[in-house]
Amino acid sequence: MRTTGLLFLLGTTILTCSAGTALAQTAPAAHTADPIADTPINAQSGASTSGSLPTDIARQAQQENITVRGKTPSRNAIGGGLMVHQTAPKSSSTVTQAFIEKQAPGQNPFQLVRLLPGVNSTSPDPLGLTGGNLTMRGLGTSQIGVTLEGVPISDVGSAATYPQEIIDSEDISQINIKQGSADIDSPVVNSSGGTVNIYMRDPLMKAGGTASFSYGSKSATRGFIRLDTGLIGHTNLRGYGSYSYTSSLMWRGPGHDEKQHADLKFVNDWGQGNRVGLSFVYNMLNNNQFPSVSLANWKQYGWGGLNVYSNKWDGTTNTSSTNKNSIANYIGVRVNPFINIYVSAPSTFTLTDHLSFTTAPYLWYGFGNGGGYGSVTDLSKIQYGNSVVKATAYGRKSGAAVFYNPSITETYRPGINSKFTYQTGNNKAVLGYWFEYSKQRQTAPYTPLEGNGNPLNTYGDQQELILSNGQPLEYRNTLTFTRIHTVYAGDSLSLLHNKLVLDAGLKYMNIARDGTNMLPSVKVKYPETRNDGYLPTGSVTYNIDKYNSVFASVTTSFKMPANYNLYEAGTYNTKTGYSTQANLNQRPEVSISEDVGYRYQGPVINASVTYFHYNFTNRQFSTGELINGTLYTTNINAGGQTTDGADFEFGTRPWHNLRPYVSAEVLHPVSDSNINAGNSAGDYVRSAGKIVPFSPQFQTAFALDYDDGTRFGEFNLKYVGHQYADYMNQQSINGYTTLNLSLGYRLPTVWRLKAPTLQMNFLNLLNEHYLDGINSVQTNAANTTGVYGTPIAAKTPTYTVGNGFAWLASLKTDF
């Protein structure tokens, strides 16, 4: 299965390279260091090569000069690289390489944006190898569109994003976030909570390279190397390739994480604004998982006990979660092997003095699983839909048995996003089209365990348990095709000598899903859903003077329901059917957001404040179910939601080599609806007027950067307020504060080694023990009475545990 997929991927890549065309989210000028730069940056010198004319409807964030003395990020960056000069007519924040290079090497993109206003990033380990979650303004990862080089990388089925798989931090030029809205040309279908746009650094004009080695807590080791070709021959073609290897013991309990990653990028610039690019990302991850915990278990066991998995299995078929050595708690089946490949060709072509064309063909491929176990009560009486069949395992034909039962997903996701941009005088118009046709195969086979309890094959796609009817035993078995057609158009008009800028746009999205459920005795075998909608947007910006501006915007966004809503799955009961039921009537989540803000962007100080307001309909409420050791997620309609809040951001350029940065957010998210409790009586909990879960009502961050060119240091702290875990506000986690520190020294150039650097990173400096996020939100965490008077039993929310103190020592150099 994987071999066929990789052959298909290789063929598509070759065709893409041969075509030599593609789409960056914004058309870059020649020799730009980043495709979204309003002010193009020469990749070699860092000098500005043209004016600051906006290059797309959204007028994305201006790129800071990132090059000083070869490849050292500028010490002139605002707030130590946590701010840039912004022109977007809505809330927007950016992290640049100047900040990224001082963080612990290898941290994932979600960790790198944690200090920005409205952002709450959680990670169960310091290096982000086991992933993590992100919320912006109280909206979760599945509601946030994520792109790399203008290509969507959120899972097309569940809308989940796995940040540990995306890109090495050394290859990031900047990460731009749009809190609460997406640009009109963003190729995302889950942007009701905003977008995260990640951009790779450009290849250098001169040949060279970068190498680093790190060692730290929990035997963490990491090596990274990147080679730049420089200009090849007498052409404008240049490129680089990088490779990293990371290994670490699990932060809590037994287990091991291992990651291999490679990035490749080539660009060719010619003429006036013509550019062809090719980006390739490969990621292979083998790691173990951390268990989520209940509040009661956290208070009783802290970081140990039943809150970590065991490295021993008692060899029995006991599946009790309270038995420390049962298969339910064995680390050997709590694995997460995955392979990802992203290929894109972001390019732009100048057709006339006024007309340009950008296009980005891409392919997203992924294969792997999230581990898990399964059990069979009696091999001679296995329920296969309405039928009872037999199986043979370990030479036995009857009796109970346990198996490795991973949730496998294989995804092929080709697509293309293209647009024409016409600019004349003070007017700029955009017309574009995004198309994608994805295939996603999802299974959950039962495969044998070795005598020690480890899977024979962690990918789980071999030696499946075959029943007497010749069929494999599966917990789920689906095939989904998703077709996306999106047309968008927009216009930007500058008046009063560019003091007043008016933007308006309209996006039409048509999304169709066709699925086949190959489990027996399902109610709907070939489900189909279609959703479409018109998403208008409008904004106005007024530049009061050189430094002061105000803006206002209205944006509509939506989030597609997850594809697992289409299917029944799980264990089968002859009376009630499958344990997980399909929900074909789930409607897209729609949001209307308004931003009103003020910015001061002076020669030393930059500051902004934004008031925002949201209205949601068909708010998708996601909750996890742990069934037979495998976590499944169910979505229901939580009705309406109204959110009000304000974001604040402040940063300075160097003052005596110091660059402070401050961000803060106040949030008031309220549920407008009573939510179905999911009980047999069809009653509702009284959630209307309550604070929405997952939403810290206050958070703030502070960072202080010092850099004199030789010595540098960076200190940051983040405070996140308490968060409710249920819609009745009956259970919450406390607020917490984390402190990080980095210290470094740049040595003189020696031979071919340019400015070798010694760096120390300290994470969670005070070793605070805390719950950092909610894994499974519930309707009610305590017994309650429903709207219709029905007693509704309590449901237990689960949480994720934040990492403790960690250190990492690094030696890195350019050459």
**Per-residue pLDDT tens for 752-785?**
898 899 999 999 999 999 999 898 889 999 999 9
Domain that residue 286 falls in: 208-814
Which tokens is 305 given? 């006990």
Supply the pLDDT for residue 396.
85
Q: Which is more confident, 636 or 311?
A: 311
Which tokens is 591 given? 């949001």
Residue 399 domain-assigned (yes or no): yes
Convert 442-482 into a string of H (helix), E (strand) and C (coil). Answer: EEEECECECCCCCECCCCCCCCCCEECCCCECEEEEEEEEE
Q: What value does the mean pLDDT take over residues 280-305?
A: 92
Residue 38 has pLDDT above 70, yes or no: no
Residue 44 domain-assigned (yes or no): no
CATH of the domain at 583: 2.40.170.20
Residue 4 has pLDDT above 60, yes or no: no
Supply the pLDDT for residue 600.
96
Residue 631 binned pLDDT confidence (cut-offs 50, 70, 90): very low
Supply the pLDDT for residue 226.
97
Supply the pLDDT for residue 137.
92
Residue 65 binned pLDDT confidence (cut-offs 50, 70, 90): very low
Separation of CA 55 from chain center: 26
Residue 73 has pLDDT above 60, yes or no: no
Residue 84 has pLDDT above 80, yes or no: yes
| 411-431 pLDDT tens trace | 999 999 999 999 998 999 999
Lowest mean pLDDT among 51-55, 306-310, 366-370: 51-55
Q: What value does the mean pLDDT take over residues 487-513?
A: 94
Tell me the percentage of the chain whose pLDDT exceeds 90. 67
- Which of 58, 55, 9 has the alpha carbon at shortest distance from 32? 55
Tracing tokens 């898990």 back to the chain, one arrives at: 372
Supply the pLDDT for residue 158.
86
Residue 335 domain-assigned (yes or no): yes
Beta bridge partners of 592: 556, 615
Residue 90 domain-assigned (yes or no): no
Supply the pLDDT for residue 575.
83
Residue 141 binned pLDDT confidence (cut-offs 50, 70, 90): confident
CA–CA gap between residue 338 and residue 257 (Å, rounded): 12
Give the end-to-end CA distance of the chain in Å, rounded to a whole number: 42
Cα torsion angle, 466, 569, 444, 565, sign = positive
Residue 794 has pLDDT above 50, yes or no: yes
Tracing tokens 């501006």 back to the chain, one arrives at: 549
Residue 61 has pLDDT above 60, yes or no: no
CA–CA gap between residue 308 and residue 354 (Å, rounded): 61
Sorted by sequence, the CB contacts under 8 Å of residue 210 that are 6+ apart come out as: 71, 170, 224, 225, 226, 242, 812, 813, 814, 815
| 321-352 pLDDT tens trace | 889 999 999 999 999 999 999 999 999 999 99
Q: What is the mean pLDDT of the chain?
A: 86
DSSP of 205-266:
SS-EEEEEEEEEGGGEEEEEEEEE--S-TTSSEEEEEEEEEEEEE-SSSS-EEEEEEEEEEE
CA–CA gap between residue 807 and residue 114 (Å, rounded): 18
Convert 103-118 into a string of H (helix), E (strand) and C (coil). Answer: CCCCCCHHHHCCCCCC
Residue 807 domain-assigned (yes or no): yes
Beta bridge partners of 276: 268
Beta bridge partners of 239: 266
| 559-586 pLDDT tens trace | 888 888 899 998 888 888 888 888 888 8
Q: Which is more confident, 260 or 191?
A: 260
Beta bridge partners of 759: 744, 810
Supply the pLDDT for residue 622.
60
CA–CA gap between residue 328 and residue 316 (Å, rounded): 11
- Which of 737, 730, 745, 810 has the alpha carbon at shortest distance from 772? 737
Q: Kind of pairing, strands 771-776 and 798-801?
A: antiparallel
Residue 741 binned pLDDT confidence (cut-offs 50, 70, 90): very high
Supply the pLDDT for residue 356.
95
- Which of 297, 279, 446 has the alpha carbon at shortest distance from 375? 446
Residue 628 has pLDDT above 80, yes or no: no
Residue 44 has pLDDT above 60, yes or no: no
Residue 116 domain-assigned (yes or no): no
| 161-175 pLDDT tens trace | 999 999 999 999 999
| 649-676 pLDDT tens trace | 999 999 999 999 999 999 999 999 998 8
Residue 130 domain-assigned (yes or no): no
Residue 16 has pLDDT above 60, yes or no: no
- Which of 435, 437, 457, 433 has the alpha carbon at shortest distance from 446? 457
Supply the pLDDT for residue 591.
87
The amino acid sitting at 625 is: E
| 199-249 pLDDT tens trace | 999 999 999 999 999 999 999 999 999 999 999 999 999 999 999 999 999
Specify the number of domains making up the chain: 1
| 684-726 pLDDT tens trace | 899 999 999 989 999 999 999 999 999 999 999 999 999 999 9
Residue 201 domain-assigned (yes or no): no
| 671-691 pLDDT tens trace | 999 988 876 677 889 999 999
Supply the pLDDT for residue 634.
58
Sorted by sequence, the CB contacts under 8 Å of residue 814 that are 6+ apart come out as: 70, 71, 208, 209, 210, 753, 754, 755
DSSP of 11-38:
HHHHHHHHHT----SSPPPTT-SSTT-S
User: What's the Rg (C-alpha) of the chain?
Assistant: 26
Tell me the percentage of the chain whose pLDDT exceeds 70. 89
